[in-house]
Amino acid sequence: MSKSLIEKIGTLKRKINAIILAHNYQRPEVQDIADYTGDSLELSRKAAETGADVIVFCGVHFMAETAKILSPEKTVLLPDENAGCPMADMITAEQLAQEKKKYPGVQVVCYVNSSAAVKADSDICCTSANAVKVVQAMDADRPVLFIPDQYLGLFAMRSSGTKMHFWPGYCPTHMKIGVDDIARQKKRYPDAKIVVHPECRPDVIDAADEALSTGGIIRYARAYKKKTLIVGTETGILHRLGKENPAVEYVPVTERSLCPNMKRITLEKVLWAMEELKPKIEIPENIRQKALLAVERMLAL
């Protein structure tokens, strides 16, 4: 990677007082220039507490939007405005409003992988790191609707015992991870443990040793003592894992689990975004304020 490109990013970052946040699925070179790399929950906490004027969010749209919900006075840049999350697009605010009518008194738990407008009409947000805790905190006497990820919802229901209704959304990247892939890797590496993301299908989660958020997978690998760890999530995480605990060999359950949207962010686009201060995330203030309530309830837990 061009050294001068990295130097330019560093110089401009200081000039405009920016912080670069990167999700664990980002390209290796983007992770390497970030001030902080983490999972959705860790990145939203960083966005809320930073003293920088500009947040350059290397991730997908809903993540940058969450940063803007929390820090409206800051400029939040998403270096490629087309970096979306297909799962977040699987439910609209209008669809949610219709669905809520089916369950009088419903409490909506909204996975952070959703638009600001959908968050605004939800009671509380969650991420994959805290979904079980959030669901456990719901009022047991009222119905709970979990949106948009049916598989994370099912995982949270099974782990917490809280009965819920689901929206039939899913992550196309994690759908590509199958039990047959797990069986094949288990055969090749019989001593290895298998850790997967809770966006995976239930049969995949059942076949694994652990289901954890990307941040949880990083912590698990830090303390891991065996030779090989089999990892079932977006393959961008392998770079971070290798940096955190290089003594372990990390093997993906399948190479197919790649999120094309996460890979849209490149170093060039990071530089251009800082030079031009765009693409900027903007949210109508009435929606932002309502969405903030759902995000703050989650962060308070």
**Binding region for [4Fe-4S] cluster:** 85, 171, 259
Q: Is 257 in the site for ligand 13P (CB under 6 A)?
A: no
Site string for ligand SF4, 96-115 (x = CB under 6 A): -----------------x--
Backbone angles phi, psi at 76, to 5 degrees: -110, 120
The nearer residue to ligand SF4, 52 or 69, going by C-beta atoms, is 69
For residue 127, count other CB atoms closer than 10 A to its CB. Answer: 22
Region of 105 (left: φ > 0; alpha: ψ -120 to 50; beta: rest) is left
- Could you tell me how many residues make up the chain? 301
Name beta bridge partners: 75.
54
User: Residues 162-181 vs ligand SF4: string with x where CB under 6 A?
Assistant: ---------xxxx-------
Comparing CB distances to ligand SF4, the nearer of 65 and 234 is 234
Evaluate whether 33 touches 267 at the Cβ level (below 8 Å).
yes
Residue from 22, 52, 60, 281 touching ligand SF4 (CB under 6 A): that is 60
Whether 251 and 230 have beta carbons less than 8 Å apart is answered as: yes
Considering only the stretches 43-51, 80-88, 235-243, 271-279, report the one whose residues sit in contact with ligand SF4 under the rule CB under 6 A. Answer: 80-88
Residues 150 and 138: their CA atoms lie apart, in Å, by 18
**Structural tokens at position 218:** 């990083």
* 115 sits near ligand 13P (criterion: CB under 6 A): no
Footprint on this chain of ligand 13P (rule: CB under 6 A)? 24, 39-40, 113, 127-129, 171, 197, 199, 213-214
Positions that interact with ligand SF4 (CB under 6 A)? 60, 85-87, 113, 171-174, 199, 234, 259, 261-262
